A and B are shown apart, each in its own frame.
Chain A
Amino acid sequence: MEFTIKIADVNIGITSVFDGVSKLCKDYLTDECPDFCIRTDLEDIAFEREKAKREAAFEHRPYFDFSDAYLETLAAYRKIAVGILPFDAFLMHGAVVGRGGEAYLFTAPSGVGKTTHTRFWLQNFKDAFIVNGDKPILRFKDGAVYACGTPWAGKEGENKNVMLPLKSVCILSRGKTNEIERVDFGRIYPLLIGQAYRPATEKELSKTMSLIKKLGESTAFYLLKCNLDPNAAKVAFEGMNG
Chain B
Amino acid sequence: MKLKYEFTVMDMGDEFAAVPVGEDAAKFHGMLKLNKASAEILELLKEETEPMKIHEYLKNKYPDSTDDEIGHTLVDFLNKLLREGLLTD
Contacts and interface: CB of A to CB of B under 8 A. Distances in A.
A37 interface: no
Interface residues of B, number: 18
A194 B31 contact: yes
A58 interface: yes
A100 interface: no
Interface stretch (B5-13, B35-43, B51-59, B70-78): B5-13
28 contacts: A58-B27, A186-B12, A186-B13, A186-B14, A186-B15, A189-B12, A189-B17, A190-B17, A190-B30, A190-B33, A193-B19, A193-B31, A194-B30, A194-B31, A200-B21, A200-B22, A201-B21, A201-B22, A202-B6, A202-B8, A202-B21, A205-B8, A205-B21, A209-B17, A209-B19, A210-B10, A213-B10, A213-B12
A204 to B, nearest CB: 9
B41 to A, nearest CB: 19
Contacts, number: 40
B23 A205 contact: no
Chain A contact residues: over half helix, strand or loop, or mixed? Answer: helix
A225 interface: no
Interface residues of A, number: 16
B10 A209 contact: yes
Nearest to A201: B21
A198 interface: yes
Contacts of A201: 21-22
A55 to B, nearest CB: 8
A193 B25 CA distance: 14
A193 B19 CA distance: 8
Given A202-B6, A210-B10, A193 B17 contact: yes
Interface of A: 58, 186, 189-190, 193-194, 198, 200-202, 205-206, 209-210, 213, 216
B29 interface: yes
Contact of A198 (B6, B10, B17, B19): B19
Given A194-B29, A202-B8, A205-B8, 4 more contacts: A189-B17, A190-B33, A205-B19, A210-B10
In this complex, the member of A198, A200, A201 whose beta carbon has the largest number of chain B beta carbons within 10 angstroms is A198
A193 B31 CA distance: 8
Contacts of B29: 194
B27 A209 contact: no
Contacts of A198: 19, 26
Contacts of B17: 189-190, 193, 209
B85 to A, nearest CB: 12
B23 to A, nearest CB: 5
Contacts of A205: 8, 19, 21
Nearest to A205: B8
A189 B8 CA distance: 15
A206 B19 CA distance: 9
A192 B1 CA distance: 30
